[in-house]
Amino acid sequence: MSESYNILVDIMSEQTTASRANERIGFEEAFTLHHRTVFRAARSIVSDAGLAEDVTQETFIRLYKHLDSLPNDEMLKPWLIRVAMNLARNAVRGTMRANTREENYVKEYGQQEKTSVELDFEQNAGVNEIYRALAQIKEPLRSCLVLKQQGLSYREIAESLDLNSASIGTFVARARQEFAKHYGRTAGKQ
């Protein structure tokens, strides 16, 4: 009887395991199980608890949107970690771009030394030529060029101007050609 009992227990445990494998993990359970792991993965990249928490929240928002598309629960933890690490890297890149833009702005405008009247006049004349050349470039090419010169990525430009991100590179290249054509012409007129 003990042998048949063991067989029955084995069969029942296999059935329980098989029925559990068919059950999908819920969002709340996934959040409870993996929140700390996702947070640690994000913090290891961004080195800031506040930013890591933002990345963690964005990761779980993406999980909520894509929970049904995950093939199985075994892939959940690696998927969460990969998403968190990608988002954290993007956050670091965005921070670096913002810092670079800020540093360039400070270098260009914040620490200008006193110059002679002649140098000021020449600089203003050059700026006016630039504005005249930019004014002759049609939209959205002009906006794409200006935003690219400010250090924004193609994706950021596309989002801010509500354009297709695949066409931003073409717009920037055309705007540069137009600018070169008009800038040379306006400089030659004076």
CA distance 118 to 8: 98
Per DSSP, 115 falls in state -
Domains of the chain: 23-102 (1.10.1740.10), 116-189 (1.10.10.10)
Q: 17 or 159, which is more confident?
A: 159
Identify the residue whose tokens are 């690696």. Answer: 78
Counting residues of the chain whose pLDDT is more than 90, the rounded percentage is 12
Q: Lowest-confidence range among 17-31, 51-65, 113-127?
A: 113-127
Counting residues of the chain whose pLDDT is more than 70, the rounded percentage is 73
The pLDDT value given to residue 19? 47
Confidence band of 187 (pLDDT split at 50, 70, 90): very low
- Give pLDDT tens digits for 67-83: 888 777 777 888 888 89
Q: For residue 163, what are its two tokens?
A: 């354009």
pLDDT at 154 over 80: yes
Q: Lowest-confidence range among 28-42, 88-102, 111-125?
A: 111-125
Alpha helices in the chain (DSSP H): 2-22, 27-46, 49-66, 76-105, 117-135, 141-149, 154-161, 168-189
For Cα atoms 65, 67, 70, give the angle at the middle one, nearest 5 degrees.
125
Beta-carbon contacts of residue 56 (< 8 Å; ≥ 6 apart): 35, 38, 39, 42, 84
Taking phi over 0 as left and psi of -120 to 50 as alpha, with beta for the rest, 23 belongs to: beta
Look up the pTM and report it: 0.44
Three-class SS state of 63: helix
Taking phi over 0 as left and psi of -120 to 50 as alpha, with beta for the rest, 151 belongs to: left
Q: 189 or 103, which is more confident?
A: 103
- Give pLDDT tens digits for 57-69: 999 999 998 888 8
CA distance 179 to 173: 10
Contact 88, 55 (CB under 8 A): yes
